[in-house]
Amino acid sequence: MTAPSLVRRAVCLLPLLAGLPARAQLPIVVSLGTATPGGGFPVYGDAVARTIHRIDAGLQVQTRHTKGSTENIPLLETGQLDLGLVQGEAVHEALAGIGRAPARLSVVAAMYSTAGMFVVRADSPYRSISDLKGQRIAFGAKGSGLVILARYVLDGLGLDADKDFQAVYLDRAGDGPAMLADGRVAALWGGGSQWPGFVAAMNAPGGGRFIVPSDPEINRILAKHAFLKRQTLAAGSYPGQAQVLASVGSWSFILARPTLDDEIAYRFTRALHLGEQALAHELPQASETRAVNTARHVPQPALLHPGTRRYLQEIGAL
């Protein structure tokens, strides 16, 4: 086609383009609440936002630092967030109405499983959870769902974080590793694969060592809190971690506000599914973020957002 022909075609298209509604030309902006800097949620949220944009340029995900799971839930309920990253235990309490009215929130994606555990310095004398009793323990950021997981794990063992330990709650998740390194705390609680706090602790001079529940302790925890599940952390998930580690935990989810448009949820779910391999390559801990896992691990199918359910049905995951 000649240059004059191209010009004529472009001129002919101008009236058509001008007639398009403004919303068809502008990206849809979706807010995603994460957590405090230094934790796993902000890193994950940013990777998800980049993945969505690569697949669906018309859907722009803007991440927002929050206090974590316990703040994301009310922000979603009041419509101040479109989407939010929420730890599994916080999801359980919110949707079941534990200590509050049941939340009217829906699931758009399963993120990843989180096996909870402690890390200590490699030269620490502590070898078990009972050894840590009475010690200063950094349990995580104040609004983090990891704090809730710790509460359930310890309760299953007949322990209380505030009564049986000198509990330290952080303003920023990223402050924990430095406190462990210089001895201000004896241990740091966290969970999951490639969690930034554990990476920093294991990479510190001298390295670190993990403390997990014993098999009898795992059985005690699960007997009291059946919504938790036995989980393992593969060897090599962290520097210097040569052994497979067994603990308990749950899946974290991306939740949506009650009024999120079905088409937005559909497009988000579709883009996340089509970008699964790229997301896992960029962020190894996101390798579990797969459409099949959303279908498999949602607490109840009725909790899926209608837009998400429609897409999962289309691909045969439901």
Distances (CA, A) of 275 to 211, 266, 280, 309: 35, 14, 9, 18
Share of the chain above pLDDT 90, in %: 83
The pLDDT of 54-80, averaged and rounded, is: 96
Position with higher pLDDT, 194 vs 212? 212
Distance CA 290, CA 110 (A): 7
The reply to whether 114-250 shares the fold of 27-112+251-314 is yes
Position with higher pLDDT, 96 vs 32? 32
Q: Which of 249, 250, 232 is nearest to 241 (CA)?
A: 232
The residue to which tokens 């990206």 are assigned: 27
Whether residue 308 contacts residue 261, with contact meaning beta carbons closer than 8 Å, is answered with no
pLDDT tens digits for range 275-312: 999 999 999 989 999 999 999 999 899 999 999 999 99
pTM for the model: 0.82
CATH fold for domain 27-112+251-314: D-Maltodextrin-Binding Protein; domain 2 (3.40.190)
Helices 145-156, 215-224: axis angle to 10 degrees equals 100
- The burial class, CB within 10 Å (0-12 / 13-18 / 19+), for 178 is middle
The pLDDT of 79-100, averaged and rounded, is: 94
Please tell me the predicted confidence (pLDDT) of residue 16. Answer: 43
What are the boundaries of each domain within the chain? 27-112+251-314, 114-250
| Confidence grade of residue 212 (pLDDT, cut at 50, 70, 90) | very high
Please tell me the predicted confidence (pLDDT) of residue 173. Answer: 82
Averaged confidence pLDDT in the chain = 91
CATH fold for domain 114-250: D-Maltodextrin-Binding Protein; domain 2 (3.40.190)
Distance CA 43, CA 157 (A): 32
Position with higher pLDDT, 100 vs 1? 100
Distance CA 277, CA 153 (A): 33
* 81 CB neighbour count, 10 Å cutoff: 25
| Confidence grade of residue 118 (pLDDT, cut at 50, 70, 90) | very high
Share of the chain above pLDDT 70, in %: 92
| Phi, psi for 29 (deg, rounded to 5) | -100, 125
pLDDT tens digits for range 35-57: 998 888 999 999 999 999 999 99
CA angle 66, 305, 260 (to 5 degrees): 60
| Confidence grade of residue 24 (pLDDT, cut at 50, 70, 90) | low
